[in-house]
Structure 1
Amino acid sequence: MTRRYLLPLAVTTMTAVLTAGLAGAPTATGAPATGASWRADLSIVDDDDSGVTSDGGTVRLDRAAPTPASARAAVRTGFLQLAPHQLDTPANTVAAAVRSTVPNGAEVAVDVRGAVGDDQWTEWVEARPDAPAVLPTATTTVQVRLALTAEKQSPEVRELTLTASTTKTFTTQAAGLSYRIYATREGLVGGTTANGHVIKSRDHFVALPSRRGLAANNSGTYSVRVCASNGRCEWAPVWDVGPWNTKDDYWNPSSTREMWKDLPQGKPEAQAAYQDGYNGGKDQFGRTVANPAGIDLADGTFWDGLQLADNSWVTVTYQWTGSGPAGYVRTAGDPLNVRSGATSTATQVGLAANYAMVRVECQVTGQSVTGSQGTSSIWYRIASGKYVAKAYVSGVSGATTC
């Protein structure tokens, strides 16, 4: 069954899924906004994409499309991440018109994000049939991502047209959102994450139960700082979707949360189901929730970064929800040591995974170090009592002296 879904420009919430169950194109309420429109090029699949193919501009799931390892759900998932699009004037709202075929049990979603600085982006926000994607700030650079999922037969997307406009002005939080969350060890070495990464022994990444904060493979655009009660922290990219749920962006306020809007901000649905019997004690797939986990940690993050011996409550800061100076760890592959002072002889108090985003509080002069970014005696303080050498961090601008 083929339908064309038009996503109106009325400004409401920030969620969307295009499914075969929709009864046709919804009608916008009120006069639609006007703005710059462009048609997406669906013919190119490159290294930023995973689990999809394109034949003559028709996008569908690859036969080998992965099922997100952390979610433990048999739903194939693929992403087509389009090239960033430059706008003539700043905009914070993007609507989409999609021409697609979506079989039963399949979904097509359009995610949008905006550039907010060098190598920094807003969270992915969905454009849906009854509302466009509304970004937290106006920007002249937007990027669009198609998300395809299927239990069996793949959906097909043949055309995608975007329209950008400007509505209410939003501001970005100065400090990133932070919550105390129950963490479990993902394991699953040899499995494939939602972004196409093949899990290695003692790997360094995390999984969150929503693709809104999912980074592309070998990217740290969406990263978290995870700190244990023993004082150790790891900065790690978000490379998988799970545990338990796949549409639970619990760190967002209820007005923009994709599902479970009646839950308090910062409380994962799995935690509510396990502790309070919420949703009958089940996740979005109807499975009985066996623990309150809101984050999965790869083995290296779990054992080496945080030095945990068992599943544990941790404090998670969602790096992309903040603002201010930030950079990205660049090593030959191993995580970067986080020290208690500005010298390589200071106590190691955590790790920063390769590709991870780190927020920089300030900088100090310390031991001269040679690394992937050259030689420097500058060290960045990325949390109280935690420092990394500038020689291994790219892209930091505007850091002040401590």
Structure 2
Amino acid sequence: MRITRRSAAALCVAAALAAAPLAAAVLPSTAAGTDPIGVAARPAEGSTNVIADGSRIVLGDAPVRMGSAEIKQRSGIGNLDPVRFPAATSAVVVDYTTSTPDGSTAEVDVRALVKDRWSEWTPAKAGTPTALPGASDLVQLRIIVVAPPSGAKPWVEDVRVQPTDKAASSGMEVQAAPLKSRVFATREGLVGGTTANGHVIISRDHFVALPSRRGLANNGSGNYSVKVCTTTGTIRCAFEPVWDVGPWNTKDDYWNPSATREMWKDLPQGRPEAQAAYQNGYNGGKDQFGRTVANPAGIDLADGTFWDALKLTNNAWVDTTYLWTGDGGRGTVSITSGYLNVRSTASSTGAVVGMAGKAAQVPVECQVTGQSVSGSQGTSNIWLRVHAGMYVAKAWISAGSFGAC
């Protein structure tokens, strides 16, 4: 068994999508602005397969998950209550104790509320204070525990966080436009399996998987979402939450600048490691687990996204926009299940040119007046343009007002 005491800085990378309301309690700061703040071992909203044991967060008893990465692991996520400091800070230091027996792992991630949106989750590296992407007085910590198929019970305890001014620039300032890259998409399938955030996959499901937990949304949340568009024939787009980790890798945040990628820092931004391994023999043609890469996939699509939203019949290259990596107007798809049709005109008689999944964020370019529609947000004749020639009814979107098209 390995027990480690870590003092770590947390780098919160790239502005995320519009912040969801904080259902969990927000912990107040201590009297002194730079004192460490203890974070209770109380799994908050979005936690999965962890239990609280005194001051510890421990991996739970759920069996091996079956998701996009297809790695035989037991895993758990413990979101902790957000912490508010008395003043905005440019960096934080995290301190905690871990136990990682029998090949298991445990880490603490952090994110910050910047420009009213949550930044990307980033592992709290040991020892060195690290800058946030912008000044913030509200941060949240997350515990990730992973173990082999049986036996080990990793845990994290005594989590504390404090602001610091001893950090270099993060190099992750918020972009005006989110990153878009062309990547190879594969179909996930695995109906009945469990994704990395605890979602149980249903038939014709709507979500995507990316090969890093940095952009992994909570189950039922879409504050980390993507826009995925076809590249041939009549263009169709899907707007989906990131609910799983994969394909191939689990630490390949290729949408981030090379210098801040968790692994594979010598690859250019936007190029997945699996693509480089498959096309160019990078890393000996293998993924981070030593498996020979059999296709260049950088994103996995749930069946409903693959077959219904994009009308794909085989794996294909797609243009993917990682919406949390940039600024811009956003709305949230407010439906209880299924998907929302994306139309070619501001009318329910317009051709269906894509779909938006439950809780997904959609980028809003502008708004137009069209057919009156009744939905979860009331009755409205306002439609939002989410891509050139693509509209969704505002009656089903939680959002503010936007300029006219």
On whether the aligned pair clears a TM of 0.5, the verdict is yes
- What letter matches 2:134 in structure 1? T
Change beyond 3 A, Cα 1:367–1:66? farther
- Note the 1:129-208 alignment, pairs <5 A: 129-151=126-148, 152=150, 153-166=152-165, 167=167, 168=169, 171-208=173-210
Shift of residue 158 of structure 1? Answer: 2.1
Q: Percent identity?
A: 53
Shift of residue 36 of structure 1? Answer: 4.6
- What letter matches 2:103 in structure 1? G
The residue number in structure 2 matching 1:28 is none
Rounded Cα–Cα distance in structure 1 between residues aligned with 2:325 and 2:401:
18
- CA-atom RMSD in angstroms: 1.9
Shift of residue 204 of structure 1? Answer: 0.2
The residue number in structure 1 matching 2:250 is 246
Question: Unaligned 5+ residue runs, structure 1?
Answer: 15-33
Task: Give me the TM-score of the superposition, normalised by structure 2.
Answer: 0.89
Shift of residue 134 of structure 1? Answer: 3.3
Confirm whether residue 399 of structure 1 aligns to residue 396 of structure 2: no
- Note the 1:73-88 alignment, pairs <5 A: 73-88=71-86
Rounded Cα–Cα distance in structure 1 between residues aligned with 2:106 and 2:128:
15
Shift of residue 125 of structure 1? Answer: 1.4
Equivalent residue of 2:278, what SS? helix
Rounded Cα–Cα distance in structure 2 between residues aligned with 1:103 and 1:315:
41
- What letter matches 1:131 in structure 2? T
Change beyond 3 A, Cα 1:224–1:8? closer
The residue number in structure 1 matching 2:362 is 358
Cα contact 2:129–2:164 (8 A) shared by 1: no
The residue number in structure 2 matching 1:20 is none
Among candidates 342, 346, 350, match of residue 346 of structure 2 = 342
The residue number in structure 1 matching 2:394 is 390
- 1:294-336 Cα offsets, whole Å, 9 max, x none, are 0000000000000000000000000101112211101131211
The residue number in structure 2 matching 1:54 is 52
Cα contact 1:177–1:321 (8 A) shared by 2: yes
Cα contact 2:275–2:295 (8 A) shared by 1: yes
Change beyond 3 A, Cα 1:175–1:353? same
The residue number in structure 2 matching 1:370 is 374
Question: Unaligned 5+ residue runs, structure 2?
Answer: 14-32
- What letter matches 2:133 in structure 1? P
- What letter matches 1:97 in structure 2? D
Rounded Cα–Cα distance in structure 2 between residues aligned with 1:219 and 1:329:
10
Rounded Cα–Cα distance in structure 2 between residues aligned with 1:248 and 1:362:
33
- What letter matches 2:38 in structure 1? R
Change beyond 3 A, Cα 1:259–1:150? same
- Note the 1:218-233 alignment, pairs <5 A: 218-229=220-231, 230-233=234-237
Cα contact 1:185–1:302 (8 A) shared by 2: yes
Change beyond 3 A, Cα 1:108–1:134? farther
Among candidates 214, 217, 220, match of residue 215 of structure 1 = 217
The residue number in structure 1 matching 2:30 is none
Change beyond 3 A, Cα 1:127–1:65? farther
Cα contact 1:177–1:318 (8 A) shared by 2: yes
The residue number in structure 2 matching 1:105 is 103
Change beyond 3 A, Cα 1:211–1:65? farther
Among candidates 258, 264, 274, match of residue 260 of structure 1 = 264
Shift of residue 6 of structure 1? Answer: 3.0
- 1:196-232 Cα offsets, whole Å, 9 max, x none, are 0000000000000000000000000100000012300
Rounded Cα–Cα distance in structure 2 between residues aligned with 1:143 and 1:47:
12
Among candidates 123, 126, 143, match of residue 123 of structure 2 = 126
Rounded Cα–Cα distance in structure 2 between residues aligned with 1:71 and 1:98:
28
Change beyond 3 A, Cα 1:250–1:368? same
Equivalent residue of 1:128, what SS? strand
Rounded Cα–Cα distance in structure 2 between residues aligned with 1:251 and 1:212:
10
Change beyond 3 A, Cα 1:133–1:125? farther
Greater displacement, 210-219 / 68-77: 68-77
Equivalent residue of 2:392, what SS? strand
- What letter matches 1:214 in structure 2? L
